[in-house]
Amino acid sequence: MDGARPIIVAVTGASGAPYGVRLLQALVEAEQPVSLILSSHGLRLIQTETSLGSVAGLRAHLGAAAWDRWVTLYDDADRGAGPASGSHRARAMVVCPCSMGTLAAIAAGTSRSLVERAADVTLKERRPLVLVTRETPLSSIHLENMLRVTHAGAVVMPAAPGFYHKPTRIEDLVDFMVARVLDHLGVENALAPRWGEPT
């Protein structure tokens, strides 16, 4: 059953760690199994941009019992871990946030880390791959890499929240993005108001 198959979540070193943390929280609350990979700079940005100082802090933030039940953490240096194989029973992968470095590696198929390899596998298996990219402005290299991964089947979702729901808190902007990501992953959510629907 789809609901029992994990979603691979990678957090890499682009600004926007709160998106990744909120996405993890929403997936755990929705009782979705998660195969989690943190790049070294993904963890660094969590430490820089949130109040969480470590993986233990992230676990406590999500709730230790929920983490233990729904989250399996993999070492980004271990290219032999489960998500490195097409036989890993993942149903989709999301990189949130996705650095330009990781975007480039995925576009080139280099597979030099577990995040890169898992994304490469996700594309070859024709499973959904969502990349929540963040950089500004964008060079032609960034734009060409976005086009390349799009042609390969990925969905590029730049971290660019809308304002038509009149956000008043940073959390409103974060939830707007995370709601759109969850929609693409096929996870029911009511994190943000939907245009044309009563709030």
Ligand X SMILES: Cc1cc2nc3c(=O)[nH]c(=O)nc-3n(C[C@H](O)[C@H](O)[C@H](O)COP(=O)(O)O)c2cc1C
In 3-state terms, what secondary structure has residue 116?
A: helix
Judge residue 169's burial from the number of C-beta atoms within 10 Å of its C-beta, 0-12 exposed, 13-18 middle, 19 or more buried.
Answer: exposed
Backbone angles phi and psi of 125, in degrees to 5 = -85, 0
Q: For ligand X, which is the closer residue by CB, 66 or 104?
A: 104
Under 8 Å between Cβ of 156 and 147: no
| Look-up of token digits 């799009």 | 150
Q: How far is the CB of 26 from ligand X (least distance, A)?
A: 22
Tally of CA atoms within 13 A in the half-sphere of 186 that contains its CB: 11
Binding site for ligand X (CB under 6 A): 12-15, 39, 41-42, 44-45, 48, 99-102, 134-135
Angle, CA of 80, 2 and 109, to the nearest 5°: 35
Cβ proximity of 23 and 96 under 8 Å: yes
Which CB, 120 or 135, lies closer to ligand X? 135
User: Counting every residue, how long is the chain?
Assistant: 199
| AA identity, residue 188 | E
DSSP state letter for 8: E
* Closer of 91 and 114 to ligand X (Cβ): 114
